[in-house]
Structure 1
Amino acid sequence: MKLLLSLLLWINFAGTPDLATIRKMYPNVTKSDSNAKEFSAKMADISDNDDKILVAYKAASILLDSNYQKKLTNKIARFKEGAKLLESTIKSEPNNIEIRMIRLSIQENVPRITGYKKNIKEDQKYITTHYAEQNGALKDYLKDFILQSKSFSEKEKQFVK
């Protein structure tokens, strides 16, 4: 019985990617098709009941996957699915700075025609306001994002250096 319980727990934890790995992968997902596919595969088993930060990364992977759909209807459907998941995740944790960073990173890079660029200023302001409150690892991750982001001014970028 103990063996069976141990095996089930191992399978459950082995399938869920750890946040450090995901954070390491995320900045590079748009650099190649293989990076994007690897990221999407890693996020595929995340459910809506998992850690909300992982759910937000899954939403980003769905939005990214929409780029690789051949049919326009499939592109639109995947995009809407990812955006809806990301928005519901933010609604459940509106004060989570990392989830807002994920949304900002998506909205900075989607075409204007999608209409999904409406929260850029709000998220940029939230990140700027709450950056100093974060712990070391998350602060470093946010800093790397801010320094490469188009949404932050040079003055804001100097603030995080």
Structure 2
Amino acid sequence: MKLLLSLLTGLCLFFQSADIEALRNSYAKANQSVTNTQSFIDLTEKQSSSDAVTSAYKAAAKIMEARITKEKGKRKSFVKSGATSLENIIKSNPNNAELRLIRLSVQENLPKIVGYHSSMKDDKTFILNSYSKQNTGLKNYIKKFASQSKTFTAADRALLK
């Protein structure tokens, strides 16, 4: 019985990590084009998992939807809804580096006029301080983000070994 339970748990974790990798890859490309943004939004809508990381990507997708919507009146509500969800998820999971990375990337890519930029410095510091404790997949994701980020300096990037 314990063996069966262990196998089921292992399978669930394997498929969940595959889903997270797909979300990470799609999210990394989402800002490159409207098609990529829509693909990322569609991918998040297909996710059935309700874990914190998946929920944070769904919140980011809601914010990105403001970029591609044709209805100008909806843009503000998409950003507000997504930002509120993202903040609540991080408030419930303050020690999750991937959640902080998602928020940092969202805040970095939003226009300053939106006013959603207050956590960038704290998130960058948290990511740098907790980097060594992360798994290899997340470390690579953080390095990839930092390499193109306006928030991370050359000195910051050097800390990500």
Alignment of 1:100-115 (within 5 A): 100-115=100-115
Higher helix share: 2
Conserved 8 A contact 2:128-2:159: no
- 1:64 corresponds in structure 2 to 64
SS of the residue aligned with 1:30?
Answer: helix
Shift in Å, 1:68: 1.5
1:120 paired with 2:130, answer: no
| Deviations, residues 26-74 of structure 1 (Å, cap 9, x unaligned) | 1100111111111101112447x70110000001101000111223320
Give the distance between the partners of 2:46 and 2:135, measured in 1 at CA.
Answer: 28
Supply the AA of the counterpart residue of 1:95: N
Give the distance between the partners of 1:42 and 1:71, measured in 2 at CA.
Answer: 22
TM-score using structure 2 length: 0.85
- 2:41 corresponds in structure 1 to 40
RMSD: 1.6
Unaligned runs of 5+ in 1: 1-13
Give the distance between the partners of 2:112 and 2:149, measured in 1 at CA.
Answer: 17
Alignment of 1:1-161 (within 5 A): 18-46=19-47, 50-161=50-161
Supply the AA of the counterpart residue of 2:54: L
Conserved 8 A contact 1:57-1:102: yes
Give the distance between the partners of 2:100 and 2:47, measured in 1 at CA.
Answer: 19
Equivalent residue pairs, number? 145
Supply the AA of the counterpart residue of 2:120: I
TM-score using structure 1 length: 0.85
| Deviations, residues 101-140 of structure 1 (Å, cap 9, x unaligned) | 0000000010111110110000010001111111111111
Conserved 8 A contact 1:40-1:61: yes
Give the distance between the partners of 2:119 and 2:102, measured in 1 at CA.
Answer: 12
Query: Structure 1 vs Structure 2: percent identity of aligned residues?
Result: 37
Runs of 4+ in 1 over 6 A off after TM superposition: none
Give the distance between the partners of 1:94 and 1:46, measured in 2 at CA.
Answer: 23
Give the distance between the partners of 2:109 and 2:76, measured in 1 at CA.
Answer: 16
User: Quick check: 55-64 or 148-157, which moved more?
Assistant: 148-157
